[in-house]
Amino acid sequence: MKHPIHEFEFKLCTLADLDRILEMQEDALAHLASPNLLRKNTVEMLAECLQPPHVTIGAWYDGRLVAFSVLYVPTVEDERLDTALEGVSIDGLTAANYKLCIVDRAFRGNGLQYALGMRLIETAREMGVQILCVTASPDNSHSIANVERMGFTYNRTLGKYGFDRNLYYKLL
């Protein structure tokens, strides 16, 4: 169902939202057209994403969380995407990942992935992030279109998280 973007409330998610975030992830995974479109995040990882230095922004409709997106500041080497970039100098740049966006199936088509992504980009700028990276499945045309619309540049396709992923970056 289509709703004007002004009908959604955008705010930070907290640990109190973890159960709903897990519910949304499970529903998204259960209804994927292909299992390689989305990597399942652990409870621990999603809980970490709800605490600083990471930022998770949600979209609420009538008091219910219907979409969320994560800005992740890599704390372990395996989660760093900037080091996988080819032909891009990252020396001295503060990096973060646009890690994840899940929209409740009933609210897809309302521009929430884009709206949340743009809020995360602004948040990253405010935090002093200078390069923001994101991956998307080569088969996920909706996410690719949104990432490109947000101004990310395709860098290459790589094996990540057990799947092929397109790697994108954006200098802030």
Q: Are 135 and 160 in contact (CB under 8 A)?
A: yes
Please name every residue paired with 72 in a beta bridge, in sequence order, or none if there are none: 97
Question: Can you give 23-71 as a three-state secondary structure string?
Answer: HHHHHHHHCCCCHHHCCCCCHHHHHHHCCCCCEEEEEEECCEEEEEEEE
Tell me 5's DSSP state.
G
| Per-residue pLDDT in tens (0 to 9) along the chain, 172 residues | 799 999 999 999 999 999 999 999 999 999 988 877 888 899 999 999 999 999 999 999 999 999 999 999 998 888 899 999 999 999 999 999 999 999 999 999 999 999 999 999 999 999 999 999 999 999 999 999 999 999 999 999 999 878 899 999 999 9
- Record the tokens describing residue 73, joined without a space: 């500041």
Q: Is the pTM of this model over 0.85?
A: yes
Q: Are 116 and 149 in contact (CB under 8 A)?
A: no
